[in-house]
Structure 1
Amino acid sequence: MSSAQSGAADDPRRRIPRTDDLLALPELVEARGRLSGALLRGLVSEVQDRARRGELPPEGVQAELLGAVASRSATSLRPVLNATGVVVHTNLGRAPLSAAAVEALIASSGYVDVEMDLVTGQRSKRGTGAREALLAACPAEVPGGLDALVVNNGAAALVLATTALAGAGELIVSRGELVEIGAGFRLPDLIASTGARLCEVGTTNRTHRADYAGAIGLETAGLLKVHPSNFRVDGFTSAVPITDLRALADAYEQEHGRGLPLIVDVGSGLFTADPALPDEPDLTSALEAGADVVMASGDKLLGGPQAGILLGRAETIQRLARHPLARALRADKLTLAALEATLAGGPTPVSQALHADPRRLRQRAERLGAAAGAPVVAHEGRVGGGGAPGVPLAGWAVRLPEGLSPLLRVGHPAVLPRVHDGACLVDLRCVPESDDGRLAEAVRAALERLGSADQGTGG
Structure 2
Amino acid sequence: MTADPSADPRRRVPRTDTLLAEPQVAAAAGRLGRELVKTAVQTVQTRVRSGDLPPEDAVAAVLAALPGTAGSLQPVLNATGVLVHTNLGRAPLSAAAVEAVVAASGTTDVELDLATGRRGPRGEAALSALLAAVPAAEAALVVNNCAAALALVATCFCAGRELVIARGELVEIGDGFRIPELLTATGARLREVGTTNRVALADYTAALTPDTGAVLKVHPSNFVVRGFTRAVEVAELAPALAGTGVPLVADVGSGLLRPHPLLPDEPDLQTALADGADLVLASGDKLFGGPQAGLVLGRADLVQRLRRSPLYRALRVDKTTLAALEATLRGPQPPVHQMLDADPDMLRKRARALAARLVDGGLDAVAVASTARVGGGGAPEFELPSCAVSLPAAFAEPLRRGPRPVVGHLAGDRTLLDLRSLLPAQDDALADAVLAVAQRWT
Same fold (TM over 0.5): yes
Task: Give me the whole-angstrom Cα distance separating, in 1, the residues matched to 2:312 and 2:178.
Answer: 22
1:337-381 CA-partner distances (Å, limit 9, x unpaired): 110111111111111100100000001101112222322221110
Against the structure 1 CA distance between its residues 233 and 49, is the aligned structure 2 distance closer, same or farther, given a 3 Å change threshold?
farther
Against the structure 1 CA distance between its residues 138 and 448, is the aligned structure 2 distance closer, same or farther, given a 3 Å change threshold?
same
* Contact 2:149/2:296 (<8 A) preserved: yes
Match of 1:20 among 14, 17, 39: 17
Match of 2:333 among 306, 331, 347: 347
Structure 1 stretch displaced more, 434-443 or 132-141: 434-443
Match of 1:98 among 94, 98, 102: 94
1:192-218 CA-partner distances (Å, limit 9, x unpaired): 221111122222222222222332223
State the secondary structure of the residue aligned to 2:250.
Answer: strand
Against the structure 1 CA distance between its residues 150 and 290, is the aligned structure 2 distance closer, same or farther, given a 3 Å change threshold?
same
Task: Give me the whole-angstrom Cα distance separating, in 2, the residues matched to 1:53 and 1:244.
Answer: 75
Task: Give me the whole-angstrom Cα distance separating, in 2, the residues matched to 1:34 and 1:240.
Answer: 56
* Contact 1:377/1:396 (<8 A) preserved: yes
Residue 152 (1) aligns with residue 144 (2)? yes
Q: How does 1:288-299 map to 2 (within 5 A)?
A: 288-299=274-285
Residue 211 (1) aligns with residue 211 (2)? no
Residue 118 (1) aligns with residue 114 (2)? yes
1:277-308 CA-partner distances (Å, limit 9, x unpaired): 01100111111222111000111001011111
Residue 424 (1) aligns with residue 415 (2)? yes
Partner of 2:221 in structure 1? Answer: 229
Task: Give me the whole-angstrom Cα distance separating, in 2, the residues matched to 1:194 and 1:20.
Answer: 56
Match of 2:76 among 64, 77, 80: 80
Residue 275 (1) aligns with residue 261 (2)? yes
1:260-292 CA-partner distances (Å, limit 9, x unpaired): 121110001111111100110011111122211
Structure 1 stretch displaced more, 188-197 or 203-212: 203-212
Task: Give me the whole-angstrom Cα distance separating, in 1, the residues matched to 2:134 and 2:52.
Answer: 60
Against the structure 1 CA distance between its residues 397 and 118, is the aligned structure 2 distance closer, same or farther, given a 3 Å change threshold?
same
Against the structure 1 CA distance between its residues 55 and 235, is the aligned structure 2 distance closer, same or farther, given a 3 Å change threshold?
farther
Q: Which residue identity does 1:24 align to in structure 2?
A: A
- What stretches of structure 2 of length at least 5 have no aligned partner? 360-364
1:386-440 CA-partner distances (Å, limit 9, x unpaired): 1111100011111110111122222243221121222100111122212222222
Deviation of residue 147 (structure 1)?
Answer: 0.5
Q: Which residue identity does 1:375 align to in structure 2?
A: V
Residue 442 (1) aligns with residue 433 (2)? yes
Task: Give me the whole-angstrom Cα distance separating, in 2, the residues matched to 1:7 and 1:383.
Answer: 68
* Contact 2:25/2:59 (<8 A) preserved: no
Task: Give me the whole-angstrom Cα distance separating, in 2, the residues matched to 1:399 and 1:355.
Answer: 23
Deviation of residue 66 (structure 1)?
Answer: 3.3
Partner of 1:256 in structure 2? Answer: none
Amino-acid identity (%): 56
Partner of 2:30 in structure 1? Answer: 33
Against the structure 1 CA distance between its residues 176 and 297, is the aligned structure 2 distance closer, same or farther, given a 3 Å change threshold?
same
Q: Which residue identity does 2:24 align to in structure 1?
A: E
Against the structure 1 CA distance between its residues 449 and 49, is the aligned structure 2 distance closer, same or farther, given a 3 Å change threshold?
closer
Residue 127 (1) aligns with residue 113 (2)? no
Residue 262 (1) aligns with residue 248 (2)? yes
* Contact 2:136/2:298 (<8 A) preserved: no
Match of 2:399 among 402, 408, 411: 408
- What stretches of structure 1 of length at least 5 have no aligned partner? 254-258, 453-459
* Contact 2:112/2:119 (<8 A) preserved: yes
Task: Give me the whole-angstrom Cα distance separating, in 2, the residues matched to 1:316 and 1:7.
Answer: 84
* Contact 2:193/2:207 (<8 A) preserved: yes
* Contact 1:405/1:419 (<8 A) preserved: yes
Against the structure 1 CA distance between its residues 432 and 243, is the aligned structure 2 distance closer, same or farther, given a 3 Å change threshold?
closer
Partner of 2:362 in structure 1? Answer: none
Partner of 2:186 in structure 1? Answer: 194
Task: Give me the whole-angstrom Cα distance separating, in 1, the residues matched to 2:427 and 2:77.
Answer: 10
Q: Which residue identity does 1:194 align to in structure 2?
A: T
Residue 163 (1) aligns with residue 149 (2)? no
Deviation of residue 316 (structure 1)?
Answer: 0.5
Q: CA RMSD in A?
A: 2.0
- TM, length-normalised to structure 1: 0.90
**Total equivalences in the alignment:** 437
State the secondary structure of the residue aligned to 2:31.
Answer: coil
Partner of 1:457 in structure 2? Answer: none
State the secondary structure of the residue aligned to 1:228.
Answer: coil
State the secondary structure of the residue aligned to 2:386.
Answer: strand
